Structure 1
């Protein structure tokens, strides 16, 4: 692909005649070569043992499941804590309401007892 890129000057010459256009397009502008000296100095890369699709997939699945499970556990734990606090608050509120009703009923009974004594 890089060999077909034409500079503006080459484009002008390429469109001058059809035969030169074919020659410019087929000839590479730059060749990639390496000398024998450079190839001799190159050391081969160390051979790596492939991980394998099964082991990699199993490890990824276990890691993902563990992380998702831990996230869900902490989410549920936090929701449980919040709901427990709300329930405790409601119980205390209900206890205070029952206490108020109890004192109100006591005062009514005392007033009723006083009215009966007067009669």
Structure 2
């Protein structure tokens, strides 16, 4: 039912426009027959593109290397501090042992 109403209204609109002279035929003017010329774009040269790609890759690799080196430095610094503390405790134990030996040697004289 709705499709019939839509079809009838479309037919009436077409008939009304024909009566008023709104019908236009197909024409082809000289302007329409001309070829469309697109504006010429300046191409991005291979050299500039290559340099941009190289520099962006170098920056990314440098940033990754920097963070890797900083992380390795932090880990090695932590291990070195642990070794220093272990050495310090070993020296303190040896010092205490030597003091007890010296006291024993002085006590026997």
**Cα RMSD for the two superposed structures:** 2.0
The number of aligned residues is: 76
Q: In the alignment, which residue of structure 2 is the partner of 1:84? A: 77
Runs of at least 5 residues in structure 1 that lack an aligned partner in the other structure: 1-36
CA gap 1:57/1:109 in 2 versus in 1, 3 angstroms: same
Higher relative contact order, chain-length normalized (CA < 8 Å, sep 6+) = 1
Q: 1:63 aligns with which of 49, 52, 56?
A: 56
Q: 2:42 aligns with which of 49, 57, 65?
A: 49
Instruction: Give the alignment's TM-score, normalised by structure 1.
Output: 0.57
1:1-119 equivalences in 2 (<5 Å) = 48-116=41-109
Question: Could you list the runs of 4 or more consecutive aligned residues of structure 1 that deviate by over 2 angstroms after TM superposition?
Answer: 43-49
Q: In the alignment, which residue of structure 1 is the partner of 2:11? A: none
Question: How far 1:49 moved relative to its partner?
Answer: 3.1
Instruction: Give the alignment's TM-score, normalised by structure 2.
Output: 0.62
Deviations 1:31-64 (A, max 9, x none): xxxxxx9xx7xx8776543211110000000000
What SS does structure 1 have at the residue aligned with 2:58? helix
Runs of at least 5 residues in structure 2 that lack an aligned partner in the other structure: 1-27
